[in-house]
Structure 1
Amino acid sequence: MERELIRLEDWLADPSAETRLFSISGIGGIGKSTLLAEMARRCRASSVLTLWLDGQSELASSGALLTGLEAGLSNEYGRSRKPDSPLLPYIADELSKQRTVLLLDNGERLDRLESWLLSSFLTRLRSVGVLIAIASRGGLPPKWHANPDWGSRIETFPLRLFTREQSLAYLSESGLETELQQEVARKTDGHPLMLALTVDLLRTRERDAFAPTRDIPAILSGDWLREAASPALHRALTALSLLPSADQSTLSQLLDEPLDAAAYYELGRLSFIRGASQGLSLHHVVSRLLREDFSRRDSERFRTLRHKAFGLMADRFHDADRRTQTQIAAHVLDLYRENLPFAHAYADFSAPLRPDEPSRYREEDLPFLHRFLADSLTRSDWHSELVRAEDCHAVLDEIARRSPEGICVVRRDDGTPIGFCAGFRLHAANAPYLERYAPAFLPMLGDEGVRLSQAAPEAADSLCILLAAVDTDQSLYRPEELGALLMQQWLIHMTGGWRGIMMSADPQLNSLLHLLGFQKKERIRTDAAAEADLVLWELDFRHTTFEQWVQLVLRQTDPNRAARSKANPRDVAKLDADDVKSLLRHWLDPDELRQLPVLRRLGLSEVEVQAGIRSILNAETPPFPLTPLEQRILRESLRGALNKNQLAEVFHMSRTTFYRHSRQAMNHLAQALNGRILDQL
């Protein structure tokens, strides 16, 4: 809140400062009252007359407001009014005797006194040097800004969510372990009150009890819902959380009873809702927490409405402009986030994803991208097998020069790049560079490669990704988190009617592409000495509609998707720890997984097994008998970044203790999976 406090200090230091109004606004829990409290502390330290008012009680009437000011003057400064002195002139006279700051918290009902304040109260203070700071969720109404006497004296301060850097700075004082600080920063999404509540809960509970913090969304959702005065608005808010934006008609389609015009108008007046081109839109943090709370309260109803909302978004996608399509695609990815990979070497979608639009490449980004690429080459990861390591920097320069629209950049809050992927758009002008730096690529496409190498630039409809790297020197985001952000942005870009082509021999990347709806075209043996074949992957939005792609992803990740054998559940063979160990060993290779006898024994597909394990290990509260500690051990083991000895150190255990916990985790995961399988039959 440096900007707001600096402005206060400027006003206090100016001997000729005029009467001003500070309008402080923001969603519930973002820190409005905290800012007012800090302002009060600084004002009192400067010997400025400082009075605090609570709008919940002291905006009921003009008399209540004046009585509150009189009480503050009496209790804090020992000043008393003569019995025959009228209240309003007395208050105005006292506030005029010296520099004064009035701090009004909970100013949502200022409209009750709007006319009196503008015509009677403020006119007496216009020329005496008073600062009035008003904190409310929606800020001062438009009528105040349009007022000829006061509009020019209003300064607005909309409070924002914490950046990741600010969240980690707060957490550094919490006493929590570094790993847990990172996890809290990811899950609290920069919301100050959620951050504080989470830290308080974790301080009073064991490190492995992160699951009880699931109560926090309900606490905050209840606070926001209280701003909506009627049950009809409560239901409308919950429905609106499932859509990126909605007009009255669209919203009514998700409700049992249509929303009338008056209720829609009242909905638009709530502090955490803004007008959008397609109607009304919820603040993204409020939207996410309302969804999480709704999902826990009534999971079946949530899934039904989510499916209906997806249908509405798919219908809108066809005729929407590109900006709206981008918003819809990003919202759908977040709406079904629990279906996306959560413990993968390249992408972890478990943290809330930003609602940002894909960031365009800028020339000044190039030195950052080269640094990320150099670090990646040192570690031998992230870059394409089609490009020789010594050519990667030249390829990046050519892409930046010839095909800058093929570069996708992820940035920090201050705009600094922290990750990228880059590729050529496929047409005749770029074909010579592909032939020089990735000579195997076009021939592998056969006749299609010939067509693409001769296509006119304006007819280009395909993109190949050759390079990707992230900034591993920064500590704000884990590499897998940046991988998820990159993949999200690239997928959103593809929904604009492009075909994406990738080739990989990396089994982990292949498993990720499979889960995200890429279609395997063929395996290509390039060298008899190669450890693995190259796999050609394609995601084609030229002929695949947006909803078809999402449905494909859901089919491949939903553990309940397929009809099961109708055998009596009591006759079904059970999984044991050895079965689970085999499943996890081949977790990243669907082809290997498909061959395991246990899948045939249970009548399951490899995708269903992957989805079942994913849903258990991604659950906020792991199913009995799996404990939160065992869940984390399995998740970290699946990421594959550390060996057993390193994992034992991470969990502060001896190797023997870690092995014992690992075996127990396998047994408990087997029991939890058996429960899921029986439920699905």
Structure 2
Amino acid sequence: MTSLGRTVRELQRRAFTGRDEEVALFRDALGAPGVLFVHGVGGVGKSALLDVFADVAAEKGFEPVRVDARHLALGRAALPAPAGDVLLIDTYELLEPVDDWVRDQYLPSLPASCLVVIAGRRGPGPRWRADPAWRALMRVVALGNLSAEEGSAYLTTQDVPGETHDRLLKISRGHPLTLSLMVDAVRRGAAPRTLSDLPDVVGALLAQMLDEVPSARHRTALEVCALLLVTTEDLLRSMVGGDAGELFAWLRTQAFVDESPYGLYPHDVVRDAITADLRWRDPGRYADLYRRKLAVFHDQVRATADERERLDLVVLTVVLNGARSPFAALASLPPTMGAHADGLRDGDRSPIVAMTAEWQGSAQAELVAHWLRRRPGDFRVFRTETGEPRGYGACLDLTEADLGVDPGTDAMWGCAAKFGPPRAGERVRAWRFFLDRDHGQRPSPSLTLFVAWQMLDILLVGADTAWSFVGAFGDGELWAPAMESLDFWAATEAGYEVGGARFPVFAHDWRRTGITTYTDLLHTRQLGAPARPAGQDLDEPVLSEPEFTDAVRSALRTLHTPELLRSNPLLRSRLVRQHERAGRTPAEILRDLLDETAATLKPDLGVLIERTFLRPIGVQERVANSLHLSFNTYRRHRDKAVAQLTELLWARETG
């Protein structure tokens, strides 16, 4: 009679998919001495793979011995002395306290023909890798997630409808345990869009993948590591405070944390599970850590002097966040695969014009050639590892002198003129061109670099930037949702045609929604909370210099009359919005700015502004007397002081 165990094993064998390379490697290794060291994050399928190895060995006439460290009493006598030629050791991380004994005494005592498979969460330690004998006998197998084809094959064996495969694979990232738990959830009627929709699955994953967390501070370090792109000790310190050295050292020991030249990062599925659990368990704490993460990343980028290093940091963020994005345009961004951005070099112009003519026609190619002559410094060339141009982009700093040649830049400038003309000294940034030589505007390393370049430009946006326009993409339907999420509204007035092709344009006015408010909006949208639509800020005033001058004079007169000050347009000006901070009203911020700016005037003028407007001591005649000035002289000095104060404030308003 067939045993229950035999039935269970047969069902497990039918469900097993993929791992062809690993199984082939094991087949080839049978019959010869050596060690296969299999490692991977919890739930990645190490135990299931050892089951298959045992079946393969039995089919070939071997008698495999299977040992699971969870079922052993830890010690030197814990492991058997098999007479056979195949030994499979599972959950090796529990044997790490006696790792030296296993390597130096136990394994050498086995039969000369024995093939040993060790499976654990961590790869072999430095003493394994430093020993030339073990280096010769050992093969290391890093077990990753299932490929899309393997994952889809597994879902097919579980009778999961084909139309749900892509969504489930994207959520699970091909992690076998996550995929298996999601199959169970789907069978119970769930239709998850993200991992956060399945808190029970998240809880089960964390129980499987994480060891015990020693303290609340260690838990915070884990959450920070999941939220940050990469974690260094100084970044961790900026997030959790205190001495972060111990926490950083602990993170480095975790099997699911890898190291890169930029710092530590967790495996994707662990990152997703920790983040989803925190967001479900403590949404307020998640919101606080996320906000601090944005500030830390902003500071990190600004502190990086080299442009290529800055862009590399943003590329990592774009790829990581893109993989989790609900927007198709961002979710499809691939790694850059060694491609990098560079300035224009001799010999670049011809291939740039040629690829433009091939993908977008001769009219667009002629315009590219025009801008290459006029603004070569506004171009970035996306190069292969060998330096060959594989794509390019251009962000043009427009002026009125540029008009009349390019319908694209003319349309963008016209939109700015209609909704808020740039004031003296303010910049209009126009993302006008983008192409990849081999893929056009489809996903490519060049597209990832172009998007990262735009993100970097936003992070470093100066106080002198009035407008940013994105008019380089041909597929408006694809890019509109992503641009809306980034607070760029569809500026239909700025759309244009070149060579019969239509290019949509997306716009953002930094004077109306400055970087502080902008960051808050992104944060709000990331949390899924209601946020005002992009473009709704067009009702906010953009003051001309005469209007600004009148508003400053009015503010000084009504500074101590709240009901009148409340209607002053300065309260909604860029100057005030740039200095928004918690607990301060716009009127209080304006008073602070007036105080700070008056303090920079010459002492006699600063005192005059203070006694007349900021902290008035009475009617102006009394102020004149206190300063030992005739009233006419006082008025002349007062007007001079107000004019200089206004000039300084205007300089801050326009960057």
Q: Structure 2 vs 1, CA of residues 525 and 399 (structure 1 numbering), >3 Å: closer, same or farther? A: closer
Q: Which residue of 1 aligns with 2:49?
A: 35
Q: Which residue of 2 aligns with 1:331?
A: 317
Which one of the candidate residues 445, 452, 459 is aligned to 1:492? 452
Q: Which residue of 1 aligns with 2:206?
A: 221
Give matches, 1:572-651, under 5 Å: none
Supply the distance in 1 between the matched residues of 2:453 and 2:337 (Cα, whole angstroms). Answer: 7
Q: Structure 2 vs 1, CA of residues 3 and 397 (structure 1 numbering), >3 Å: closer, same or farther? A: farther
Deviation at 1:397, TM superposition (A): 9.5
Q: Does 1:58 align with 2:72?
A: yes
Supply the distance in 1 between the matched residues of 2:72 and 2:524 (Cα, whole angstroms). Answer: 56
Q: Which residue of 2 aligns with 1:298?
A: 282
Contact 2:226 2:271 in 1 (8 A): yes
Q: Which residue of 1 aligns with 2:7?
A: none
Q: What do the CA deviations read for 1:597-631 (whole angstroms, capped 9, x no partner)? A: xxxxxxxxxxxxxxxxxxxxxxxxxxxxxxxxxxx
Give matches, 1:261-276, under 5 Å: 261-276=245-260
Q: Does 1:246 align with 2:216?
A: no
Q: Which residue of 2 aligns with 1:356?
A: 335
Contact 2:408 2:471 in 1 (8 A): no
Q: Which amino acid aligns with 1:9?
A: R
Supply the distance in 1 between the matched residues of 2:143 and 2:68 (Cα, whole angstroms). Answer: 19
Deviation at 1:439, TM superposition (A): 5.6
Q: Which residue of 1 aligns with 2:394?
A: 425
Which one of the candidate residues 267, 271, 283 is aligned to 2:267? 283
Secondary structure, counterpart of 2:207 in structure 1: helix
Supply the distance in 2 between the matched residues of 1:398 and 1:132 (Cα, whole angstroms). Answer: 66
Q: Which residue of 2 aligns with 1:452?
A: none
Q: Structure 2 vs 1, CA of residues 539 and 129 (structure 1 numbering), >3 Å: closer, same or farther? A: farther
Which one of the candidate residues 360, 364, 388 is aligned to 1:392? 360
In our comparison, the structure showing a higher alpha carbon Rg is 2
Deviation at 1:267, TM superposition (A): 2.2
In the comparison of the two structures, how many residue pairs are matched? 461
Q: Structure 2 vs 1, CA of residues 360 and 395 (structure 1 numbering), >3 Å: closer, same or farther? A: farther
Which one of the candidate residues 286, 297, 312 is aligned to 1:313? 297
Q: Structure 2 vs 1, CA of residues 58 and 271 (structure 1 numbering), >3 Å: closer, same or farther? A: same
Coordinate RMSD, CA, aligned:
5.1
Q: Structure 2 vs 1, CA of residues 395 and 43 (structure 1 numbering), >3 Å: closer, same or farther? A: farther
Supply the distance in 2 between the matched residues of 1:22 and 1:247 (Cα, whole angstroms). Answer: 32
Contact 2:69 2:89 in 1 (8 A): yes
Deviation at 1:254, TM superposition (A): 2.7
Q: Which residue of 2 aligns with 1:464?
A: 432
Deviation at 1:233, TM superposition (A): 2.5
Supply the distance in 1 between the matched residues of 2:447 and 2:237 (Cα, whole angstroms). Answer: 33
Deviation at 1:45, TM superposition (A): 1.3
Secondary structure, counterpart of 1:312 in structure 2: helix
Deviation at 1:259, TM superposition (A): 5.0
Q: Structure 2 vs 1, CA of residues 443 and 23 (structure 1 numbering), >3 Å: closer, same or farther? A: same
Deviation at 1:239, TM superposition (A): 2.0
Q: Which residue of 2 aligns with 1:193?
A: 177
Deviation at 1:134, TM superposition (A): 0.6
Q: What do the CA deviations read for 1:463-494 (whole angstroms, capped 9, x no partner)? A: 524669999xxxxxxx9xx8899976642132
Q: Does 1:513 align with 2:527?
A: no
Q: What do the CA deviations read for 1:396-436 (whole angstroms, capped 9, x no partner)? A: 99999999966799xxxxxxxxxxx97653799xxxxxx9x
Supply the distance in 1 between the matched residues of 2:359 and 2:140 (Cα, whole angstroms). Answer: 52
Contact 2:314 2:456 in 1 (8 A): no
Secondary structure, counterpart of 2:49 in structure 1: helix
Structure 1 stretch 232-241 or stretch 152-161: which is displaced more? 232-241
Deviation at 1:249, TM superposition (A): 3.6
Q: What do the CA deviations read for 1:536-570 (whole angstroms, capped 9, x no partner)? A: 445799xx99888645644677776789xxxxxxx
Q: Which amino acid aligns with 1:222?
A: A
Q: Which amino acid aligns with 1:47?
A: G
Supply the distance in 1 between the matched residues of 2:184 and 2:446 (Cα, whole angstroms). Answer: 33
Q: Does 1:8 align with 2:8?
A: no
Long gaps (5+) in structure 1 = 70-90, 363-386, 410-420, 429-434, 449-460, 472-478, 564-586, 595-681
Q: Which residue of 2 aligns with 1:628?
A: none
Deviation at 1:131, TM superposition (A): 0.8
Q: Which residue of 2 aligns with 1:371?
A: none
Contact 1:396 1:422 in 2 (8 A): no
Q: What do the CA deviations read for 1:176-230 (whole angstroms, capped 9, x no partner)? A: 2222222212211121110111112212336699986342122212333325444
Deviation at 1:263, TM superposition (A): 4.1
Secondary structure, counterpart of 1:253 in structure 2: helix
Contact 1:30 1:159 in 2 (8 A): yes
Contact 1:330 1:488 in 2 (8 A): no
Contact 2:392 2:446 in 1 (8 A): no
Secondary structure, counterpart of 1:150 in structure 2: helix
Q: Which amino acid aligns with 1:464?
A: R
Supply the distance in 2 between the matched residues of 1:216 and 1:186 (Cα, whole angstroms). Answer: 15
Deviation at 1:446, TM superposition (A): 6.4
Supply the distance in 1 between the matched residues of 2:396 and 2:539 (Cα, whole angstroms). Answer: 38
Supply the distance in 1 between the matched residues of 2:204 and 2:61 (Cα, whole angstroms). Answer: 38
Structure 1 stretch 43-52 or stretch 552-561: which is displaced more? 552-561
Q: Which amino acid aligns with 2:276?
A: E
Secondary structure, counterpart of 1:193 in structure 2: helix
Supply the distance in 1 between the matched residues of 2:445 and 2:162 (Cα, whole angstroms). Answer: 22
Paired-residue identity, %:
20
Deviation at 1:243, TM superposition (A): 0.9
Supply the distance in 2 between the matched residues of 1:488 and 1:355 (Cα, whole angstroms). Answer: 7
Q: Structure 2 vs 1, CA of residues 296 and 443 (structure 1 numbering), >3 Å: closer, same or farther? A: closer
Secondary structure, counterpart of 2:211 in structure 1: helix
Deviation at 1:354, TM superposition (A): 7.3
Q: Which residue of 2 aligns with 1:441?
A: 408
Contact 2:336 2:448 in 1 (8 A): no
Contact 2:392 2:435 in 1 (8 A): yes
Q: Which amino acid aligns with 1:240?
A: C
Which one of the candidate residues 131, 146, 150 is aligned to 1:162? 146
Q: Which residue of 2 aligns with 1:664?
A: none
Supply the distance in 2 between the matched residues of 1:395 and 1:196 (Cα, whole angstroms). Answer: 53
Supply the distance in 2 between the matched residues of 1:464 and 1:484 (Cα, whole angstroms). Answer: 18
Long gaps (5+) in structure 2 = 1-18, 342-355, 385-389, 398-403, 416-428, 459-467, 541-655
Q: Does 1:523 align with 2:493?
A: yes
Deviation at 1:105, TM superposition (A): 0.4
Q: Does 1:183 align with 2:201?
A: no
Q: Structure 2 vs 1, CA of residues 502 and 422 (structure 1 numbering), >3 Å: closer, same or farther? A: farther
Q: Which residue of 1 aligns with 2:13?
A: none
Secondary structure, counterpart of 1:28 in structure 2: coil
Deviation at 1:501, TM superposition (A): 3.7
Q: Structure 2 vs 1, CA of residues 37 and 327 (structure 1 numbering), >3 Å: closer, same or farther? A: farther
Using the size of structure 2 for normalisation, the TM-score is: 0.58
Supply the distance in 2 between the matched residues of 1:399 and 1:163 (Cα, whole angstroms). Answer: 43
